[in-house]
Structure 1
Amino acid sequence: MLPIPQRIRTLAATASVVKLTVDGVPARARGGVDERGRPVLLALPGEPLHGLHRLHEDAVVAVNLAAMRRLGDDEHPRGLMEVQGWAQPVPAGEARAAAVAVAANTADEALFDALERYGRPDAPRLLRVDVAQVVYLTGQESGVLDADDYLDAEPDPLAEPAERVLAHVNAAHREQLANGVSRHLGRPAGEVWLWELDSRGVTVRADGSLVRFLFPAPTSSGSDLEAALNGLLCTCGHHPAA
């Protein structure tokens, strides 16, 4: 399994903003996650966060993120995270990158207005969270990461190819996957889906339970990742790990 800080950063990189509270009060949530894992928020005139006109006016916020996995017609949560900290205006030089991060999860025409009229009192505003800590729940693991552990971690460099391979196997090769997993477990595995795939191994969902298989050695490229996964499908030398 990836180290917890790296795993949470990997999940956050593709997560959606599902809930926002400002100074303990629920607020409308529009946003995404930037390249450092910080939630980025779009605030419209009249909303609580829009009133932050100066950098020293920080609002205490909690941003709830959800990383989901689609299995057939259903979506299931892979990881839930609450990023706690302070909302601060995005500097002008970083506004475009922040807008792109928001647009990845929330396509809102107000983003254009926020960029074109940046800094005007009546324009939509872009803010990001100065992270204090991250509370997480993923699978059977839960805990709290402090800001340094979270922000210093890098997402799994193979996350993008892993997602492509995972989607392909779940769409076209579930029978082979089920056969391979059944042989490893020594019993019929029932309904099997790939749940997580990373540089160190694969987690499958078999009849609703998660089972982890480690690769013999960490992979370092997309082709190595595919080869290691093929080893699992062919029952070549993998062993389940808790």
Structure 2
Amino acid sequence: MLPIPERVRTLAASAAVARMTLDGVPSPARGGVDGRGRPVLLVRPGERLHALDDEAVVAVHLTATRRLGEVEHPRGLIEVQGWAQPVPAAEARAAAVAVAAASPDEALFEALERYGEPGAPRLLRLDVAQVAYLTGQESGILDADDYLDANPDPLAETAERVLAHVNEAHRAQLAGGVSRRLGEGSRDGAGEVWLWELDRFGATVHVDGSLIRFPWPVPAHTGQCLETALRGLLCTC
């Protein structure tokens, strides 16, 4: 399994901003996560954070999900706590790109074109203090340094592509391979077996609502190694 800081950063990189909490009061929010794992918020005129002059203590709630068939399941809940600050002008375009990747919005163009003008949409970014997480059976708190110093899994993009392909086209093979590993013989309930997570240390499979971890004999260091390791799980011979 990925080290916890790396796992949380990996989940945060693909998570959606669910809401934000200011002074203990939750409210809807739109935004994304930048390359360092910091939440970036697009704030429109009239919203509570728009009149921010300096900084405010805020919690941004991120949700990472996995779609299995027609059902969306939560993979991880992350609460990033810190101080909301205006994004510097020199970094505004990169911040807008981070928001657009998760929540495209035409107001982003206005936020860039009218940067700093009264009444324009604003881009705010969290100066991270700590991060609370709940993922699977694991929960805890990371301090800012542990979170910000970690990097997302370098194979995450490849892993998501391969995972989607297996769940779309090779679930019968997956069910057979899992049955072989578990020593259960042939499995009739192949429709209830899904690939849940995939990383350089192993695969997690969703079987009848339970999560089962299958570690690789050795970590995968490239996308090709990852695919080779997964083929070993899919093999029913």
> TM-score when scaled to structure 1?
0.94
Partner residue in 1 for 2:83: 86
Check conservation: 1:84, 1:131, Cα contact below 8 A.
yes
Report the Cα distance in structure 1 between the residues aligned to 2:19 and 2:43, rounded to whole angstroms.
14
The one-letter amino acid of 1:225's match is: L
Partner residue in 2 for 1:239: none
Q: Which runs of 5+ in 1 are unaligned?
A: 237-242
For the pair 1:18 / 2:27, whether they are aligned, the reply is no
Partner residue in 2 for 1:132: 129
Partner residue in 2 for 1:197: 198
Question: How far is 1:28 from its partner?
Answer: 2.6
Question: How far is 1:233 from its partner?
Answer: 1.0
Report the Cα distance in structure 1 between the residues aligned to 2:212 and 2:136, rounded to whole angstroms.
11
Question: How far is 1:146 from its partner?
Answer: 0.6
Label 1:79 to 1:171 Cα distance change in 2 as closer, same or farther (>3 A): same
Give SS of 1:104's match: helix
Report the Cα distance in structure 2 between the residues aligned to 1:38 and 1:225, rounded to whole angstroms.
28
State how 1:23-172 maps to structure 2 within 5 Å: 23-53=23-53, 57-172=54-169
Give SS of 1:193's match: strand
Residues 35-59 of structure 1 deviation map (CA, whole Å, 9 limit, x = unaligned): 0000000111111111123xxx211
Residues 74-121 of structure 1 deviation map (CA, whole Å, 9 limit, x = unaligned): 110011101111100000010001001111121111100000000111
Check conservation: 1:118, 1:125, Cα contact below 8 A.
yes
The one-letter amino acid of 2:213's match is: R
Give SS of 1:78's match: strand
The one-letter amino acid of 2:235's match is: C
Check conservation: 1:189, 1:206, Cα contact below 8 A.
no
Partner residue in 2 for 1:207: 208
Report the Cα distance in structure 1 between the residues aligned to 2:193 and 2:46, rounded to whole angstroms.
48
Question: How far is 1:26 from its partner?
Answer: 2.0
Residues 184-225 of structure 1 deviation map (CA, whole Å, 9 limit, x = unaligned): 111248321000000110000011100000101111111111
Report the Cα distance in structure 2 between the residues aligned to 1:189 and 1:146, rounded to whole angstroms.
46
Check conservation: 2:171, 2:194, Cα contact below 8 A.
yes
Question: How far is 1:27 from its partner?
Answer: 2.4
- Runs (4+) of structure 1 exceeding 3 A deviation are none
Give SS of 2:50's match: helix
Report the Cα distance in structure 2 between the residues aligned to 1:189 and 1:116, rounded to whole angstroms.
58
Report the Cα distance in structure 1 between the residues aligned to 2:166 and 2:218, rounded to whole angstroms.
21
Check conservation: 2:108, 2:121, Cα contact below 8 A.
yes
Report the Cα distance in structure 2 between the residues aligned to 1:142 and 1:62, rounded to whole angstroms.
17
Report the Cα distance in structure 1 between the residues aligned to 2:182 and 2:204, rounded to whole angstroms.
13
Report the Cα distance in structure 2 between the residues aligned to 1:199 and 1:13, rounded to whole angstroms.
17
Partner residue in 2 for 1:184: 181
Moved more, 97-106 or 155-164: 97-106
Aligned length: 233
Report the Cα distance in structure 2 between the residues aligned to 1:162 and 1:198, rounded to whole angstroms.
6
Partner residue in 1 for 2:222: 221
